[in-house]
Structure 1
Amino acid sequence: MPSKQWRASRYCTPGCKTANPAKRGTRKLEEKACEQCGQMFRPRTSRATYCSRDCSSLAHAWRMTGTGNSRFKHGDSYAAWFRAMRPLVLDRDKRRCVTCQAPETFIKVVRKGKEQQRTTFHVHHINEDVRDNRAENLVSLCGTCHAVHHKSNTTPWPWLAQYAVDASASMTSKSKARATSLRARYSFTTA
């Protein structure tokens, strides 16, 4: 056999090759259960723990929620403040769009395998600062009015700021107390 072929070949003859199959691909790992769905599968490597990419992605999504996320900050963020203020603002505005007076509508969405009902209403930051979640800076808008506001060069409703201040002043005492306690809790986020 020529020397060049000899270096490229693992076996001296084709008969020797069939008598001694390559180790790669011949080892069979035992079946095991997928850690996400529990289905039995034969892993390609000893490190495989999920039967498919979908199961792997779903497991990753569950691991990254809440405290599992490396960027989780104990829920003390302006986003948490906004999530807490949103229902107060919707109730204050009687669950109607403050510009066109359209009533709140709902859609059904599927999240993490569960069907949920979601509102189509948006809570708008009047001063465009998402960190400022005071009741005086938030108003309820339907999706159409919210889009019109953001697509316009100047706001079509310059009275929104005054409306929010007046509506916040006339909130029920329970809602005012809740808004005040939330503002005190998250005051470090506005500094």
Structure 2
Amino acid sequence: MDARTKLLDAAKQLVWDRGVEATSPNMVLARSGVGQGSLYHHFGSKAAWAEAAITGLAAELTAETDELFSAHATGADQLRAYLTRPRPALDGCRLGRLAFDPEVRANDALRAPISAYFEHLRALLRPAVRATGVEDVDGVVEAICAVVQGGYVTSRLSDDAGALERACRGLLALLRIDR
């Protein structure tokens, strides 16, 4: 694995674990095992490696979500698969938890890949929700996003990974697609 990939992998994990503000260049260097010169050769600033890390996390999550939706033919099956897929509830969403990071909030380039992922997710959810016959498609799409993101928060706060799963199961029941 080349130095840039090692740095990027380390930055992605640290940004997910700690956020951008709480991650220092020294942490990225220590986790990657790469020398300091490589960090500044490949990424000229903290904002540059943070943006690359967030963009990488967003690309990974987008690919996983695309694969999940394309593996299921009906809207109900897509929603069921999305809401029941295994998630690291206590770790938080790779992107959603960055919404409160001060450095991310203050930097359009850091927010852009997160916003793009959630817009992409909404675009996948809309036809799936529409296919279930729900009238307020956009409202249900936002509710799905809120339940998943809120489930991460309540799971973490209660130290109960099952809270996210129960929230998603409850939403499926409300949508009457829990079978």
Shorter-chain TM-score above 0.5: no
**TM-score, with structure 2 as normaliser:** 0.24
Q: Return the structure number with greater relative CO, CA threshold 8 A, min gap 6.
A: 2
- Find the structure with the greater CA-based Rg: 1
**TM-score, with structure 1 as normaliser:** 0.23
